[in-house]
A and B are shown apart, each in its own frame.
Chain A
Amino acid sequence: MSLLGAEAPDLFSALDFARVDVLAHPSIGEISGAPFNELISGLCSGEQPLDILCLEGSVMRGPQGTGRFHMQAGTGTPMMQVIADLARRARYVLAIGTCAAYGGVTAAGGNVTEACGLVFEGQEKGGLLGASFRPASGMPVINISGCPVHPGWVIDTLVQICHGRFDAASLDAFGRPRFYASHLVHHGCSRNEFYEYKASAQQIGQLGCMMEHLGCIGTQVHGDCNIRRWNGEGSCIKGGYPCVGCTEPAFGDRDHPYLETPKRAGIPVGLPTDMPKAWFVALASLAKAATPERLRRNAVAETIAVHPGAGPGKHSK
């Protein structure tokens, strides 16, 4: 559904441009019933070629590995069997969304449905198809993780594939396209000035940085969410709520409430991963001591309470 929001170009123009011919899609495809199942069996048997398989949603293997929690309608076949058969025929295989990639929220809380991703189960390699699985093109399974995915992540991937410009080096260790996963959500954060000075929001809805108290993990999470905007101009942070890490393989379970930052001796657990903790703490306390009054007050307000002073001009030497 997120993909339907693609813009400039819209979804169908983008598919035309990428020369993608949609054979079947559960939400937008034309055919139902027997013709649909005939098409799927033709693809599974190899009678009809399949260039790209996109899976949305996790693979339900339960109960007890039977797959009966998710049956393909009108066939009596477990969906996990259909997915495996299609994946073995496809030239490229894409997992769209964190559930299809890693299991996601459907695998949370003890995973009663035995949900997993195509080649991952959380951070562990394996999943439905196994760690060594490669589709016909030799390209690993492409995990466009995100809950939701940005429509641009899917379209940019498809267009590059169709132009032969997407290879294994385009992916990170979790199979995610590097063009978005080599960014951190923190990049382009609209609250960066608050972050720099550790001017923190106390309650959700306030303007300050959400890392210290409200569970934001955007400094560690992979995604270009604040560079490539959502629905025209949005992002989680711009919408006033923290990054909950929806592109990460572990998304789904958290050992503390999502909207709270766990702390040890008053210091947030889970600081940026690639700098020494002592330096971060030292910098943070320096920054805190230097926080301008404007940021200190705005951080705990819903709308700007103290406005920036007169900007630089001829009197500002």
Chain B
Amino acid sequence: MTRLVAGPFNRVEGDLEIKLDVEDGAVSAAYVNSPLYRGFEQILSGKAPGDALVYTPRICGICSVSQSLASAAALGKAQGLTPSENGAILQNLILAAENAADHLSHFYMFFMPDFAQPVYAGEPWHAKAAARFRAIRGEAQREFLPARAAFLHIMGIIAGHWPHTLGLQPGGTTCAIGGAEQARLAAYVSAFRRFLETTVFGDTLERVAGLQSESALDAWAAEGGPSSSDFGRFLALAKALKLGELGRGTGVFLSYGAYALSARPAFAAGVFERGECRAFDPQDIREDNSSSWLVRAGGPRHPSHGITLPDINAEAAYSWCKAPRLGGLAVETGALARQLIDGHPLLRGLAADGGNVRARVVARLVETARLIPLMERWIWAVRPGEPFCLHAAVPGEAQGAGLIEAARGALGHWLDIRKGRIFNYQIIAPTTWNFSPRDVAGVPGACEQALVGAPVRTGESTPVAVQHIVRSFDPCMVCTVH
């Protein structure tokens, strides 16, 4: 057995190092380390409750709105306040804009450039993939960035700016809009739809969202338009490199449910395991610090009374990340989890044997194809003149939890207010689930499990297969170690 220290991993958000045990040309065990501690939970302690809306978005420049929304939801629970209808619609639009932009940023900026790596120079597809997808100099990123920037004008209209808006409040949003703003929002979404349909998919969003099975996907990908689209190019690469067989995860998936309005969320909440969906109970969550450089605090705790204090000398620790578990299980979260739990037939097919690199990438793009038509509907559901933001006092003593879906998966904020101040604030970010270290029972986290079996070529220290698996989760390490 040999031991590799892989990292740093560029094109993931934040710092990441992975120790790999390698036997017979494949990874036999992985130890994921987030080598950064940031202390946001300690920073929030003692602050005025509403100030959480200033601090938490600044945990991350890429998941900023998601952090805002989870914080607003937790405060809203504590205040007994729910957003106005208009406010809830604009919150959904702002979150959808961030999530769609993040999904595409992951695809073009983080994931696809791996196929341009010199390790693939001998492959027949390499020259074309490199010309199209290479970082910074490739043509795809240069087409994507202007489309993304124009799409994010949505934030300029309804959130002030992106990232780090203060426009998401417990009672709704702070920027009331009228018909002209609706028209401009619709124009930006429509322009992004055109980019998606011409460049990303080579087909209508509705056809992509409606693909029912792996065989339907294969047949679709062979058509003229799709085969010369970037999604089509990915599917061809995924076939050549067997990415559908790479990076099997835990097989247990979690979603808190995404884009709630007054009725059910647009993408359902729940837990998915072995083809079956079941209800999710937030009381089943525990944070385990057995492998973290954190004070152990007498064993795993529910985040509503969680403790996050650094202990650089903690025994057997190898990461700043905690190990959240759901009913004792290591789970995977993200777009694939959302689409599996929402019952999307294509993803149920692609992940029939568990999560894998191809299914995670396909899930993000299919989800984007489903999200844009929802945004189009939400824009015109806003009723100008009716309230956008409701108000209520912050009680001196109250608790609240805000559970939402960020681009990268389940994000939870737990807030405890005492004497009018934040007594305790605990956050579990999506990548804390996915990139958790081992728990008290020695069970590895989702990515650690997914890396087992990854092939290692001779001479590789940060194996390309490991990079594909890591990036397929779209990790956000800065949120992980908030």
Contacts and interface: CB of A to CB of B under 8 A. Distances in A.
Real binding pair: yes
A145 interface: no
Interface stretch (A42-50, A63-71, A180-188): A63-71
B454 interface: no
Interface string B38-55: 110011111110110011
A247 interface: no
Contacts of B173: 205, 240
Interface residues of A, number: 73
**For chain A, what secondary structure do more than half of its interface residues adopt (helix, strand, loop), or is it mixed?**
loop
Given A60-B37, A74-B6, A231-B156, A147 B164 contact: yes
A265 to B, nearest CB: 22
B43 A109 contact: yes
A63 B39 CA distance: 12
A234 B391 CA distance: 24
B116 A73 contact: no
B162 interface: yes
A22 interface: yes
Interface stretch (B139-147, B246-254, B295-303, B360-368): B139-147
B244 interface: no
A234 B136 contact: no
A104 B136 CA distance: 29
A53 to B, nearest CB: 16
B10 A231 contact: no
A4 interface: yes
Nearest to A34: B461
B189 interface: no
B156 A12 contact: no
B131 interface: no
B7 interface: yes
Given A73-B15, A203-B391, A1 B163 contact: yes
Contact of B155 (A4, A7, A231, A242): A231
Contact of B136 (A12, A63, A237): A12
A26 B13 CA distance: 8
A302 B166 contact: no
Contacts of B38: 60, 69, 106, 113
B176 A303 contact: yes
B39 A113 contact: yes
A204 interface: yes
Contact of A233 (B134, B153, B166): B153
A233 B462 contact: no
A10 interface: yes
A11 B35 CA distance: 29
Nearest to B157: A233
Interface string A8-35: 0011110100000010111111111110
A308 interface: no
- 7 cross-chain pairs, A with B, having the tightest CB-CB distances, nearest first: A239-B160, A33-B462, A240-B174, A234-B156, A231-B156, A73-B7, A230-B161
29 contacts: A4-B149, A6-B145, A12-B142, A26-B10, A26-B11, A29-B11, A30-B10, A30-B116, A30-B135, A60-B37, A60-B38, A70-B15, A70-B35, A73-B16, A74-B5, A74-B7, A108-B43, A109-B45, A109-B46, A109-B47, A230-B160, A230-B162, A231-B154, A231-B162, A239-B158, A240-B173, A241-B174, A244-B54, A258-B50
